[in-house]
Amino acid sequence: MIPGDSEIIDRTGLNRLVEVLAELGYRVIGPQLRDGAIVLDELASGAQLPDGWGVEAEPGRYRVRRRDDRAVFAHSAGPGSWKTFLHPPRRKIAGLTADLVDEHAAGPAYERTADPAYERTTDPADEAPKPYAFLGVRGCDLTAISVLGRVLDGAALPAAPPARRRGLFVVAVNCTEPGGVCFCASMGTGPSVSPGYDLALTEQVDEDGHRFVVDVGSDDGARVLTEVAPRAPATAAQVDAARTQVSAAADRMGRAMPEIDLRALLRDSRESPHWQEVASRCLTCGNCTMVCPTCFCTSVTDVTDVTGEHAERWEHWASCFELDFSYLHGGSVRQSGESRYRQWITHKLSTWYDQFGTSGCVGCGRCIAWCPAAIDLTEEVASLAALSGEVTDDALR
């Protein structure tokens, strides 16, 4: 078996895939139903996958629903993203103790530490965390992982250790049922997955049964799949049917980003009156940045115990919607909700290109579903385009 081959596994084979990855020493992360949402968490077995659950999503609304079949991956993106594991919301990055101060009289010394989940031991070989295996990565999120890695690998701050991405095994999923807030097709990130996966699944549930077409994307993927049974070579008809399903999904997106030059639009709309209209609805809560799979900003907090003999420095996610995010000596630069929303969307869709050579939006729709004010990113861009005179309202419909 080599990259480019396609195989067929059934639901039992999917369970076995989870077992194989765990046996190989991976920490397997995948979707599961919890607290009324499809969340990403560690899988003890394939039985935890959300068989038979779908999602209804629209601006400001997300609900899980029972399906008429036992499909595992027929649900759109939930509130969590793979960013949570590659770029943790909160982690300890340094510690300072009285012993270190005494030992190094010339000045305080900081001890670099790993993530709290993987405490440093006396054996250096024990310092490395278990590698991740991500199961169920959709096209938009696979692009987000690539974008986030590009951003963080060049970061000046001690964020997201590359060790968290090194050794990552990706089992991607081609989307066949996009959600109500998805717009990945218009962003060029889905519904089919791009290269960068080890294995890619296309789920099929019909009168012939429940199966997954598995595309092999790497040598590691081929080695893992050889340990999975039952499996069989995919026929040309099965592969063609899978490709057709994914292609058809592109025409059923719940949303679409206007087909215009977004960089130029945002650059030229700095003084648009529409920002005030958005600000009248925006709560500046930062939900959009927290659920976004590519937002990466962080801040640091120093804490100490009551004795003053031990101090720690913690890194945590931050948001450009926070008033203090733009604080400089004398005050915050962006004090209005209008300026903070403008900063977020302009960076995401325009100046991100200048920094990283790509868009910061992958079309997953999370920011739309999880906005309590039901603000729709695609509609706001369409309104800016209409006000700019570049296109008419009719052309945007």
The pLDDT score that the predictor gives to residue 116 is 39
Rounded distance between C-alpha atoms, residue 79 and residue 369, angstroms: 9
Peptide bond into 230 cis (omega under 30): yes
Same domain, 385 and 280: yes
Q: Output the CA torsion 260→266→272→278 (10° steps).
A: 90
The pLDDT score that the predictor gives to residue 161 is 47
Give me the tens of pLDDT residue by residue for the chain, a chain 397 residues long: 788 899 999 999 999 999 999 999 999 999 999 999 999 999 999 999 999 999 999 999 999 999 999 999 999 899 999 999 999 999 888 888 876 544 433 344 434 444 433 333 333 333 567 899 999 999 999 999 999 988 887 654 444 444 455 689 999 999 999 999 999 999 999 999 999 999 999 999 988 899 999 999 999 999 999 999 999 999 999 999 999 999 999 999 989 999 999 999 999 999 999 999 999 999 999 999 999 999 999 999 999 988 888 899 999 999 999 988 888 888 888 888 899 999 999 999 999 999 888 999 999 999 999 999 999 999 999 999 999 876 544 444 4
Rounded distance between C-alpha atoms, residue 86 and residue 149, angstroms: 9
Domain edge (last residue) among 209, 229, 252 = 252
Q: Which of 193, 170, 373, 163 is nearest to 283 (CA)?
A: 373
Same domain, 62 and 149: yes
Q: Is residue 116 part of a domain?
A: no
> Residues 358, 360, 366, 368: is their CA dihedral positive or negative?
negative
Same domain, 349 and 244: no
Same domain, 236 and 268: no
Q: Is residue 208 part of a domain?
A: yes
The amino acid at 160: A
Same domain, 157 and 230: yes
Rounded distance between C-alpha atoms, residue 161 and residue 339, angstroms: 32
Same domain, 391 and 272: yes
The encoded tokens of residue 304 equal: 């100490």
Same domain, 288 and 245: no
Same domain, 79 and 186: yes
Q: Is residue 160 part of a domain?
A: yes
Same domain, 233 and 283: no
pTM: 0.87
The pLDDT score that the predictor gives to residue 150 is 86
Q: Is residue 106 part of a domain?
A: no
| Distance between start and end Cα atoms, the chain | 47
Enumerate residues 6+ apart whose C-beta is below 8 A from 360. Answer: 147, 294, 295, 347, 348, 349, 352
Using the structure block, give the residue that is written with the tokens 């081959």: 5
Q: Is residue 102 part of a domain?
A: no
Q: Is residue 173 part of a domain?
A: yes
Same domain, 10 and 59: yes
The pLDDT score that the predictor gives to residue 319 is 93
The pLDDT score that the predictor gives to residue 335 is 84
The pLDDT score that the predictor gives to residue 163 is 47
Q: Is residue 98 part of a domain?
A: no
**Domain interval for residue 85:** 6-90+123-252
Enumerate residues 6+ apart whose C-beta is below 8 A from 394. Answer: none
Same domain, 66 and 146: yes
Domain edge (last residue) among 216, 234, 252 = 252
Same domain, 129 and 236: yes
- Structural domain count, the chain: 2
DSSP string, 115-175: -TTS---SSGGG-SPPPEEEEEE-HHHHHHHHHHHHHHHT-SSS-S-GGGTTT-EEEEE--
Q: Is residue 95 part of a domain?
A: no
In order of 140, 192, 281, 286, the CA distances from 382 in angstroms are 21, 25, 17, 22
The encoded tokens of residue 294 equal: 């590519």
